[in-house]
Structure 1
Amino acid sequence: MHDAKAFRSMHKERFGAEPAIFVGPGRVNLIGEHTDYAEGFVMPAAINFATLAGISPRTDGKIAIYSENQGEEKVFDGVQAKGIKYWTDYPIGVVSILAGEGHKIPGFSLSIWSDVPLASGLSSSAALEVSTALAVLSLVGASYPGPVLARLCQRAENEFVGANCGIMDQFISLNAKADHALLLDCRDLTYKLAPIPDHVALVIANTMVKHSVAGGDYPTRRRESEAACAVIARHRPGVKFLRDCTLDDLKKSGNEMEPKSYLRAKHVISENLRTVAACDALLKGHMKELGRLMGDAHRSYSQDFEGSCVEADAMVALAQDLPGLIGARLTGGGFGGCTINLVEQTEAAGFAEKLGARYAQKIGITPQIHICHASGGAHRLE
């Protein structure tokens, strides 16, 4: 985490005012991939990588945004109606959505810093949206319940940025509890917390292959899985999402859909079952069963959903016989990014070192490997 004192000084030096600072954590999804937009189940945890947003009011009505990571400041003449396909779309999108909810947005200066790795499937975008939302709301003297604000931040990414993401990332960033995973029902936003045992570490291994939700294969996979749902719905009126479908429904309609759509739907439907079972295993302390479900989830993601890549498959395979491993799989939107490895805490350091060396030798890229813990949700830094 950035030194908050240094961050505060940087903002004051740049903008001449003391900022209020808000923290939005990144997240790792333990299981439940490409199920959120099918109104299914996901089980993420917030992690101790986060975005800081420092805000102070201005008198000229302008909105100035400075990113310490980008080393760049952009100034806007108030609220913007549409994005410019730039990193500023994320915070400006949140401002636009809040203005649309009837809030009178004054001029302000916003400083941003993040240690959430970009384009790695750890939700750097949601961390930025959530920290910005809390900062701007503090300025206008308003607040929302976590689930409601998560929806507004999701809308910023969907409508302003143009990334067709589900609700999971924003929800966990706002509603996380330290040392817990969160099973979220993406249909009604009810959730259940499951403690992560003290003896388990979250080891996140970055393949160094970048992925994007806004472009590429992610929207294609979503269309393919939704096409399968449309076929099933012809036989089962009332079905709107793959959440409503069983594997038996899929088999009955399988010959009427494209083979790829069949496989995508098979992953989503089975992943929902695995995710609910994984939460149950975690609540009961059945770590071996949780590890098995994670392994099944990765195979389904890679083979049926074709959402993995050579590097991610290698990272998962290379972890399998290392001491301390409970379970490993690719996490996030896919096509690169990070694997999540649940590892016995006592073995975590050795596991990380050995996995990094193996991956570098096999792939020829030095990965970034982080030993993390589950953190609490977004908040104001006092």
Structure 2
Amino acid sequence: MTTTEARTTFSTVYDRTPAVVASAPGRVNLVGGHTDYNEGLVLPIAVDLRIAVAAAPREDGRFRLRSTDFAGEVVVDGLPDEPLHGEDRSWANYSLGVLGELDGGLARLDGGLDLLVAGDVPRGAGLSSSAALEVATAAAAYGVGGEAGNDLDSAREELPRRELAEAGWRAETGFVGLDCGIMDQYASALCRAGEALFLDCRSRETEAVPFDGESAYRVVVVDTRVEHELAESAYNDRVAECRDATERFDRLVGGVDSLRDVDRDAFVAHADDLPGTLRRRVRHVVTENERVRTSVEALRDGDFDAVGARMYESHASLRDDYEVSCRELDAVVDIARGTEGVVGARMTGGGFGGSVVALVSSHAVDDFRARVDRGYPDRVDVDAEPRTFVCTSADGVRLDRSA
């Protein structure tokens, strides 16, 4: 649906047919919260909510960008060296940053591009709409200005997915300026339907893990539609705290380049050498990496109850040790705990708002959604009602001919 919308809207606003349409999914992270920028372990799946980018080449060096979510058009002559400012223009930075990363490498874009963005990944819900936009833009640009332009049928299956994901990550950390990990872009690029992605954020090694219980269990995302003002600053604070803890551990034991290098034994031995706040941050990262490993083993065994238990543990750790939850997220997780058939739930994304991901027995989905609709307003004082998405695992980035 999103590719059709992008294609038809492109034709309407630019009065020509796009050369390619690429789409990339949002993601939920089953376990592995805030471990990615600590070079740790994560276990995301892509979901069947996508961002699509339709593209066609130009010859005058100009880049025109439109989105169905924003009014007006963003136009730049040549790729900018600095991000654009203003709410009506800043959304385009995710695409412009990626184009700058690809130009002269995976793609030649000196002639310019027309781009049209459409999709159904909700913004601000913790499902990484930004990574989906970055990866879809990268694939579209590759399709127009790279090797894929010569053989799109082949490129559909042979996209340089890792390179596209890396370009998206460099754009977000460099051009956009968010000090994030690699998980979101890798999930959007590499995931496959029926699989979770076990990702080592240090080595970039990946393993496809069967997620084949979707006839018995569904992934339900509850968007609280709340995003507190402190979210971005608190995220940056956590990154800084982890760097501080890394430096302290390196001085204590040596050979510590990130919190990934701290195991349980080292943490227990030196926990009292850390200030209380840093002790809690490190404990979360150490135990969360362990939860990812045990969840991978559980998925291999088809033990969804064990995965769900790790999800509840992960949320408690994110709430108490990492302190990135909020009462709205906690309320949804509490409702999940009290609903028969919900085997696990946790916040997903950066925190302080956004969404909860729940693993729900198929027969309990309707009951869980009804309980959220009834119980959530009684627990929190918010005007917006939560949105619920029943998701299916999905393939990563795709590239198709327009015709």
Task: Give your verdict on TM over 0.5.
Answer: yes
Contact 1:21 1:53 in 2 (8 A): yes
- Name 2:395's counterpart in structure 1: 376
- Name 1:9's counterpart in structure 2: 8
- Name 2:47's counterpart in structure 1: 47
1:1-382 correspondence to structure 2 within 5 Å? 1-2=1-2, 4-19=3-18, 20-85=20-85, 86-99=90-103, 101=105, 103-105=107-109, 106-142=111-147, 145-196=160-211, 197-198=213-214, 199-210=216-227, 215-365=232-382, 366-382=385-401
Q: What residue identity is the alignment partner of 1:113?
A: A
Render the CA deviation track for 1:59-99: whole Å, top value 9, x for unaligned.
32210000111122110001111112411110000011112
TM-score by length of 2: 0.91
Contact 1:22 1:53 in 2 (8 A): yes
Contact 2:143 2:399 in 1 (8 A): no
CA–CA distance in 2 between the matches of 1:76 and 1:68? 19
Contact 2:42 2:200 in 1 (8 A): yes
Q: What is the identity percentage for the equivalent residue pairs of Structure 1 and Structure 2? A: 35
Contact 1:57 1:108 in 2 (8 A): yes
CA–CA distance in 2 between the matches of 1:88 and 1:6? 19
Aligned with 1:209: secondary structure? strand
Q: What residue identity is the alignment partner of 1:38?
A: N
Cα pair distance change 1:23/1:212, threshold 3 Å: farther
Cα pair distance change 1:28/1:211, threshold 3 Å: farther
Contact 1:308 1:330 in 2 (8 A): yes
CA–CA distance in 2 between the matches of 1:258 and 1:151? 35
Aligned with 2:220: secondary structure? strand
Aligned with 1:371: secondary structure? strand
Aligned with 2:226: secondary structure? coil
Task: Give, in angstroms, the shift of residue 349 of structure 1.
Answer: 2.2
Render the CA deviation track for 1:338-373: whole Å, top value 9, x for unaligned.
000000112212221222221123224410011111
CA–CA distance in 1 between the matches of 2:229 and 2:160? 29
Cα pair distance change 1:233/1:176, threshold 3 Å: same
Q: What residue identity is the alignment partner of 1:149?
A: L
Render the CA deviation track for 1:119-168: whole Å, top value 9, x for unaligned.
11100000000000011111112366322221111000000000011000
Task: Give, in angstroms, the shift of residue 261 of structure 1.
Answer: 1.1
Task: Give, in angstroms, the shift of residue 328 of structure 1.
Answer: 0.6
CA–CA distance in 2 between the matches of 1:84 and 1:280? 45
Q: What residue identity is the alignment partner of 2:164?
A: L
**More off after superposition, 179-188 vs 203-212:** 203-212
Render the CA deviation track for 1:156-199: whole Å, top value 9, x for unaligned.
00000000110000001000110211111111111122222121
Cα pair distance change 1:163/1:328, threshold 3 Å: same
Unpaired runs of 5+ in structure 2? Answer: 149-158
Q: What residue identity is the alignment partner of 1:107?
A: G
Cα pair distance change 1:325/1:233, threshold 3 Å: same
**More off after superposition, 361-370 vs 326-335:** 361-370
Cα pair distance change 1:74/1:212, threshold 3 Å: farther
CA–CA distance in 2 between the matches of 1:277 and 1:212? 34
Q: What residue identity is the alignment partner of 2:96?
A: I
RMSD over aligned CA atoms reads 1.8
Aligned with 1:71: secondary structure? strand
TM-score by length of 1: 0.95
Contact 2:106 2:146 in 1 (8 A): no
Contact 2:173 2:180 in 1 (8 A): yes
Contact 1:231 1:253 in 2 (8 A): no
**More off after superposition, 147-156 vs 299-308:** 147-156
Q: What residue identity is the alignment partner of 2:386?
A: P
